[in-house]
Chains A and B, each alone.
Chain A
Amino acid sequence: MNTDISIGTGNPIDRVEGRLKVMGLAKYASEFNVKNLAYAQGINSTIAKGTITAIDTSEAEKQKGVIKVLTYKNADKLKQYDEELPAISTSSIQPVLQSADVYYYGEYVGLVIAETFEQAQYAASLVKYTYSEEKPDIDFDSSRAKAYRPTEKSDYSRGDVSQGLAEADVTLEQIYNTPIEHHHPMELHAIIASWNNGNVEAYASQQIIDDATLTIADTFQIEKKNVRVIAPFVGGGFGSKLHAKQHVILGVMASKQIGRPVQMTVTRNQMFTNTNLRQRNEQKMQVGAKSDGSLTALSHDTLSHTSTYEEFQESCGTVTKMLYKTPNNKVTHRLMPMNLQTPFAMRAPGEATGSFALESAMDEMAWKLKMDPVDFRVKNDTQVDPSSDKPFSSRLLNECLKIGAKEFGWEERPQKPGTKEEGNWLVGYGVSGASRRAPYQKTSAKIILELKDSEVFATIQMDATDIGTGSYTIIAQTASEYLNIPVAQVDVELGDSDFPKTPGSGGSWGAASFSNGARAACENAIASLEEKSGLKLADAGLAKLMRSGNLNSFEAEGTAEPDEEFKKHSVFSFGANFTEVWVDKDTGVFRIKRMLNVASCGKILNPKTAFGQIIGGCVMGAGMVIAEQTKVEPNYGNFITRSFADYHVPVNLDMANIDVIFLPEEDKIANKMGIKGVGELGITSVAASIANAIFNATGKRMRDLPITPEKLILAEKEPGVA
């Protein structure tokens, strides 16, 4: 499928699977032609808390094409949680339709299986539920009394924050709010499941294949080896597909019940209610600094919600622990169980929301200290992670800030807020530092080499996924580099649980893990071939190695994993974002005029796909500021933003010129190839950078996202702004 004749990593080559995608030949989960397929449609609860007292399925069952209606009454018995509020992970079980209880509005309460999608959908609307309704906990403020500490690790402290604040010349205490958001990858969540005598085969849109097989196996209490999950292409995930959601279980259950393969697609409307969310965070920041700008205290307390049946905590305080040098530091997280869906990781969980609070607070402090916000950050740099006392494997935050400031023209920034005008617009510049953990994980890969007419063709297999990020391409480039053959001679096969195990895509670990796994397989293959042939790859080339070994084909496997050096260091990517905004003097409207993102994230395998990741992160970060928010109806607990007509993601016109600079870097402590993650770094710095620019333009401090015209028009200038 691939025509690129360049060799190795570092080249900005086109995606190797690009042609398949534009020709519609890349198949996504719901697009496989499976014989005798039936279609399932989930039914959602219309109350937020209570019990189902009666179900009338008769009308639905009468409809043409309907095969079966599933409710808690006739669903398979699944494994149940054995704790009250279990902390969920990417491989947790997913019990569904197990009781008459309803925990949130939109929860699955039934399923219709029919011959066609349309029949299933219509029949689903005819199943009648009667509920005994209870008053749901849907109000953030009135749930405060229920706040609890999830685990001991939810809290962290070093030094003494109150003492640090007492020693400070300048202090700040402010609250920053981020709303409920939804992941909304372009491809809807979907599954085609086939149950055959206790064996499951599923085409499923998932980010982590191995965890999806675990979730299915554990939930149905069958052996993992009897479950196969296939996902050659995934149309985005942003975290929502890290974990197999309930529709995966429902699809498998439906197939088991009717003895036919079943397709279940989650509708866009159900993407709000049934594929998790990013929860609302209320973050209190306390900061203290000496008049020379050195920080004396940083404290970050986060209050958020989880569901009433599962626990998920987003670690907003991570950034505050490690980004700047301060002797006194405290981070806490509290959760309130509410009648809302369980939250789950969304792009840069913790960092995206946490750095909005931290980097806004840093900007507020710089203003109070009358320091340039770039200088203030540079002053508080640390090369040792203060939260673990481990040195950073590499940290070029100051370089990102300084180079960014120069390239962006930071010296043009108005010193006093609200003083630079263009017609009806006020112009402002903002900056923010960025960081995101670069976790690299154990990854295996298989390589198959074939010699054809004096050329070697390689196939790499692993259960990794390409969620639109470019995994296929960088893996092909890596193999090409280590084998010293053109990219065009490397085929990459992904997304099948029959292939060697990887950590999948997520958490910015994909590129480093997949590439090092592929590297390890290549190195093993080369070592064997060199031994067999007595030749060296560098002198003889791969074809000669195989020919002298009398081999037309050869297979090897390899595994890469973090080494001791990795464990002795703190491994993060760093960056800085610079934004220019224009804010209308009267109407509450603002425009992002331009943005520069400087990123230090190790070796860049492919500047083109990496660029796409950073730009995508910037757009998503801008979305957090412009309008993205899921609003909970205050009396009933449903979401009033229920389609893309009301859940506003940025449009092209909202996004300005975004420029990206990658600092040249190879972090060999992070891993042998020197790679760190780029998938999430881009989003982490954007919200604060824009909000800080709005302050610079107007003198208004916007601490609640999103910054809508409504909020901006009502906001007052900060005390002290002329």
Chain B
Amino acid sequence: MRPFTYTQPETIEEALTASVTNTDSKYLGGGTNLVDLMKEDVERPSQIIEVADLDFNTITSNETGGITLGAMLSNSETANHPDIRKNYPLLSMAMLSAATAQIRNMATNGGNLLQRTRCPYFFEVSMPCNKREPGSGCGALEGANSKHAIFGWSESCVATHPSDMCVALAALEATVTLQKPGGTSRTIEFTDFHRLPGDQPEKDNTILPGEIITAIDLPNPKFQTNYHYLKIRERSSYAFALISVAAGLQISGGKITNIGLAMGGVAHKPWKLIKAEAFLTGKMPTKANFEQAAELALKGAKTLSENEYKVIMGIKAIVRALEQALAKTA
């Protein structure tokens, strides 16, 4: 690992200032992703600014009747918080499907949003990778790409975003609050937070240099009864999703009145299934409708040499997730 300096600011202002003074800095949350990548020589910050101990580590009600998740709160504390379990069980379920208990204890909510792709070319510095080294080429495009994207990719990058938490946040229509050096903060829609690779795959998201994530806001409690997070993976735990689906349904009078549907493992960002959501809204929650919605959702998927299976797996996963959500009772 390269030598680096380490600072532990007391306040967010100090942290922001430290990042302005040394633009080669990285904020440190739980370090479960950053430190791994530093060991692999992929991330090479000359300064580490610890933010995990800053004050943004609570869960509070917000003005809109929803809830604010502190960005520095651990994934475990968030997922197991009674308010989250009761009011946003879809988020809890998705978060608890990720990694291991030990990693979730360390991982922070902010860090989870910013974790980087698991593409093996990205991790191996001797390989070409536009995301790690712009202009070096995309090793996966014509290489080993069975775990790569089927939506929204570009010739320059076919990577997927690995987070489970983010798939649920997309389905729940969360927002992200960021604070910039100078003290101003801004809030953006969750679906606008991550981006597609285009010709700038080095940018995973729309965060600006030096910005700190301070909070994630959830709207009114949602899908408290009919929800499911389905994660298909290569072993029963401690593996990233090949495909995942976050599904939330609100049913009234035998019809779907509100729906949240998003997929993981298929794109450079959590993939909100807007067409399928629109199709199902107002319809009866039948298997036939679920199947039609799933077909619609996977329409337009563009597969790579090794990942054709994701289309059929995606369809089955959407139908199953919706069925499981429907089957749940209060």
**Residues in A lying within 8 Å of B, measured CB to CB:** 46, 118, 121-122, 125, 424, 586-589, 591, 626-627, 631, 633-636, 638, 640-643, 645-646, 648, 650-654, 706, 708-710, 713-714
Contacts and interface: CB of A to CB of B under 8 A. Distances in A.
A406 to B, nearest CB: 30
B184 interface: no
Nearest to A589: B232
B235 A648 contact: yes
Given A636-B127, A713-B313, A648 B143 contact: no
A638 B127 contact: yes
4 closest cross-chain pairs (CB), A and B: A46-B126, A653-B236, A640-B120, A586-B316
Contacts of B239: 627, 648
B2 interface: yes
B1 A714 contact: no
Contacts of A643: 123
A638 B235 contact: no
B289 interface: no
A122 B41 CA distance: 10
Given A46-B126, A635-B143, A651 B309 contact: no
B317 A633 contact: no
B144 A634 contact: yes
Given A121-B1, A710-B309, A633 B235 contact: no
A635 B320 contact: no
A635 B139 contact: yes
Contact of A646 (B120, B230, B242, B313): B120
Main secondary structure of the interface of A (DSSP, over half): loop
Given A627-B235, A640-B144, A714-B309, A587 B316 contact: yes
Contacts of B63: none
B198 to A, nearest CB: 24
22 contacts: A424-B320, A586-B319, A586-B320, A587-B232, A587-B316, A626-B235, A633-B143, A634-B144, A635-B139, A635-B142, A640-B124, A642-B123, A643-B123, A648-B235, A651-B237, A653-B235, A653-B237, A709-B233, A709-B234, A710-B146, A713-B312, A714-B309
B120 A587 contact: no
Contacts of A626: 234-235
Contacts of B41: 125
B124 A638 contact: yes
Contacts of A713: 309, 312-313, 316
A631 B236 contact: no
Contacts of A642: 120, 123-124
Contacts of A653: 235-237
Interface string B224-249: 00000010111111111010000000
B253 interface: no
Interface in B260-311: 309
Given A638-B126, A640-B121, A646-B118, 5 more contacts: A125-B41, A587-B313, A587-B320, A651-B238, A709-B242
Contacts of A641: 120
A634 B143 CA distance: 6
B65 interface: no
A588 B233 CA distance: 9
B144 A631 contact: yes
A654 B239 CA distance: 12
Contacts of B124: 638, 640, 642
B183 interface: no
Interface string B97-135: 000000000000000000000101101101100000000
Nearest to A44: B126
Chain A CB within 10 Å, residue with most, of B123, B124, B316, B317: B124
A588 B118 contact: no
Contacts of A714: 309, 312
Contacts of A121: 1
Interface in B129-168: 139, 142-144, 146
A706 B233 CA distance: 13
B182 interface: no
A635 to B, nearest CB: 5
B236 A651 contact: yes
A646 B312 CA distance: 23
A650 B235 contact: yes
A638 B120 CA distance: 10
Contacts of A706: 234
Chain A CB within 10 Å, residue with most, of B121, B236, B316: B236
Contacts of B233: 709
A640 B127 CA distance: 10
A710 B126 contact: no
Chain A CB within 10 Å, residue with most, of B142, B143, B240, B313: B313
Contacts of A635: 139, 142-143
A587 B234 CA distance: 11
B234 A708 contact: yes
Contacts of B1: 118, 121-122
A709 B313 contact: yes
Nearest to A708: B234
Contacts of B309: 710, 713-714
